[in-house]
Amino acid sequence: MIARSFAFIHVRNLVNESIPFLQVDGNRLYDAVTEGCEITADLETGHIRITGVEEEFQGNPPQGVSWAIQQAGGLVASLP
C-alpha cells in the first residue's frame, strides 16, 4: 500500500497484519502513476519505480519495531 499519509491506527493494523506499506510525501509519484502502469517498490529502502518513468521515487518505509514485526510476518508471528 502506498499513500501520502496513514492514520496511526491504520499503520498499527498494517504492521500487525504484515501488510506492506510505504508513505510517499508530495505529488510527484501520484502525478506519474497512470492506469495500468507497473509499480515496483523496495520495501526495505523505500525506492519506488514506475515502468516507463525515468525518475525514481523515495518512500518512507517502516523502521525499528514496526519493521521487525513486519519482517516476522505480523504481530502474532513475532511473539515468542
Bridge partners of 41, per DSSP, are 48
Q: What pLDDT is attached to residue 80?
A: 83
**Cβ proximity of 35 and 45 under 8 Å:** no
* CATH code assigned at 24: 3.20.19.10
Q: What pLDDT is attached to residue 27?
A: 94
Does the pLDDT value for residue 19 go beyond 90? yes
Phi, psi of 47 (to 5 degrees): -75, 135
Count of domains forming the chain: 1
Does the pLDDT value for residue 18 go beyond 90? yes
What's the grid cell of residue 14?
Answer: 498494517
Backbone conformation region of residue 33, classed left if phi is above 0, alpha if psi is from -120 to 50, else beta: beta
Supply the range of the domain harboring residue 55: 2-78
Per DSSP (E only), the strands in the chain are 2-3, 22-23, 39-41, 47-50, 57-58
